[in-house]
């Protein structure tokens, strides 16, 4: 059983409980992850998370592929993964997965990418 005081301090427990990214959870995410948390929240708020049949894509200057705890961005390759941390793309996908704040694309990424 989760203690109530632990839920109030942990953005992931609170998000799993509420299933919505409210101001309280946003604040906790920014407190815990700093600039990465802010960027993740901005991506959620601007609906830049796409869920294809094979994986998620976070749209920023480039499209970044996220599969579970892996991202193809430079920050993940050179910094975050070496420190056992997440890049902001992975944070955004984790939030989107819990809240449903993503656009579902009914297709495989490699098929859709060719059309575009």
Taking the whole predicted model, whether its pTM rises above 0.85 is answered as: yes
Tell me the β-bridge partners of 99: none
Query: DSSP character for 2?
Result: -
Please check the confidence at residue 1 and state whether its pLDDT lies above 50.
no
CA distance 18 to 35: 23
Written as six digits, the tokens of 1 are 């059983």
Number of domains composing the chain: 1
Which domain does 20 fall in, by range?
4-115
In the numeric block, the tokens 């009914």 are attached to: 106
What mean pLDDT is predicted for residues 85-94?
96
Q: Residue 82: what pLDDT?
A: 87
Written as six digits, the tokens of 47 are 């609906």
Please check the confidence at residue 102 and state whether its pLDDT lies above 50.
yes
Q: Is the CB of residue 105 less than 8 Å from the CB of residue 112?
A: yes
Q: Is the CB of residue 48 less than 8 Å from the CB of residue 97?
A: no
Q: Residue 116: what pLDDT?
A: 46
């Amino acid at each position: 059983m989760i203690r109530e005081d632990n839920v109030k301090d942990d953005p992931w427990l609170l998000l799993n409980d509420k299933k919505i990214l409210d101001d309280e959870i946003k604040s906790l995410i920014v407190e815990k992850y700093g600039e990465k948390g802010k960027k993740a929240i901005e991506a959620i708020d601007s609906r830049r998370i796409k869920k294809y049949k094979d994986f998620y894509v976070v749209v920023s200057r480039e499209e970044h592929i996220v599969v579970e705890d892996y991202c193809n961005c430079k920050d993940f390759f050179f910094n975050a993964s070496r420190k056992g941390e997440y890049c902001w793309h992975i944070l955004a996908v984790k939030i989107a997965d819990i809240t449903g704040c993503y656009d579902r694309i009914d297709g495989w990424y490699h098929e859709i990418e060719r059309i575009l």
